[in-house]
């Protein structure tokens, strides 16, 4: 959705999912369905092996998938090199993680280490379900421990009817983390509220509503 919004404002956005796993290859052109979705939203034609340099056909953490398949674990430095190359080809680059911040990429490296190497700010995507406060704070403090800036926290798929606890989740996370951009995104109802959700992301995440630099095609 983030990629789709940026593209809608005329921004040349590239996409990357450095590490992906699945029980099967998605298609002849794309190893990962997630990468296909990202590429479709961005309308880019970058090669699959640039957008997704490491894919394993076992649906688990990359380190375990590599071990189980008898293949080398992902080379973090190579992934960063590819990311730099894509960054030079596009005005903006969206990089999607895998699983969670502590997912092992190799024996000694996690997704957190990759984010630190890249130097990009992080967007934490969470949900309004039970346990989300704990999971979100663990992720936030992991980023904090490595001096990784958390640009925003997205509470995804907020239901139409919410509890009193869910209503206070956004303000609570802002209070506990100090992150100012807390974006609560409702569920998409068969595309009926898609435009309003896109406008919400543009306004709250990127301050694009009042921008005169970009206009929708």
CB-CB contact of 95 with 122 (8 Å): no
**132-145 and 111-118 helices, crossing angle to 10°:** 50
Cα distance between residue 36 and residue 33, in whole Å: 5
Q: Give, in degrees to the nearest 5, the angle at Cα 27 between 25 and 29.
A: 115
Which amino acids are annotated catalytic? Answer: 17
63: DSSP letter: H
Q: E-strand spans in 53-120?
A: 54-56, 92-95
CA distance to 9, 49, 131, 192, per residue, from 79 (Å): 28, 10, 32, 38
CB-CB contact of 101 with 110 (8 Å): yes
The residue whose two tokens read 């595309």 is 191
Within a 10 A sphere around the Cβ of 125, how many other Cβ atoms? 18
CB-CB contact of 7 with 93 (8 Å): no
């Amino acid at each position: 959705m983030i990629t789709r919004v940026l593209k809608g404002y005329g921004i040349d956005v590239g996409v990357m999912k450095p590490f992906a796993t699945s029980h099967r290859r998605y298609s002849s052109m794309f190893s990962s369905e997630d990468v296909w979705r990202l590429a479709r939203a961005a309308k880019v034609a970058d090669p699959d092996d640039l957008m997704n340099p490491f894919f394993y056909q076992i649906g688990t953490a990359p380190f375990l998938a590599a071990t189980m398949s008898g293949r080398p674990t992902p080379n973090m430095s190579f992934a960063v090199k590819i990311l730099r190359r894509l960054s030079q080809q596009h005005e903006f680059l969206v990089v999607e993680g895998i699983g969670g911040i502590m997912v092992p990429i190799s024996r000694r490296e996690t997704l957190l280490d990759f984010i630190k190497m890249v130097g990009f700010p992080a967007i934490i995507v969470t949900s309004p379900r039970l346990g989300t406060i704990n999971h979100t704070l663990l992720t936030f403090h992991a980023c904090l421990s490595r001096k990784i800036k958390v640009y925003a926290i997205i509470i995804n798929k907020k239901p139409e009817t919410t509890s009193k606890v869910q209503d206070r989740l956004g303000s609570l996370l802002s209070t506990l983390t100090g992150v100012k951009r807390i974006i609560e995104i409702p569920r998409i109802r068969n595309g009926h509220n898609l435009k309003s959700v896109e406008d919400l992301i543009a306004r709250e995440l990127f301050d694009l509503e009042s921008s005169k630099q970009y206009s929708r095609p």
